[in-house]
Amino acid sequence: MAPNEKPRWNSGTVRSLREHLKLTQQELSQELGVRQQTVSEWETGQYHPRGTSARMLSIVAERAGFNYDGDGD
């Protein structure tokens, strides 16, 4: 990943982060201030987190010591 490139959150990395945190979709959605349906859509690959949601996921991941690389889907 290039130095200024932001990690791309995808279905696998979102689900892995949630499982790393031992949270349900509902609990993660409450932490991020989004609907549970939104987390579900991220995890099924229907949509990808972007903007503020992607940044919040990155902050949560960094604070939780979760290693992600944004690869795969």
- Is 6 inside a domain boundary? no
Q: List pLDDT tens digits, range 6-62.
A: 557 999 999 999 999 999 999 999 999 999 999 999 999 999 999 999 999 999 999
Cα four-point dihedral sign 64, 69, 71, 72: negative
Q: Which of 55, 48, 51 has its CA nearest to residue 12? A: 48
- Is 72 inside a domain boundary? no
- Is 71 inside a domain boundary? no
- Is 21 inside a domain boundary? yes
- pTM of structure: 0.82
Boundaries of domain holding 44: 11-63
Structurally, how many domains does the chain consist of? 1
Q: List pLDDT tens digits, range 27-41.
A: 999 999 999 999 999
The CATH number of the domain where 50 resides is what? Answer: 1.10.260.40
**Mean pLDDT score of the chain:** 88
pLDDT of residue 22: 98
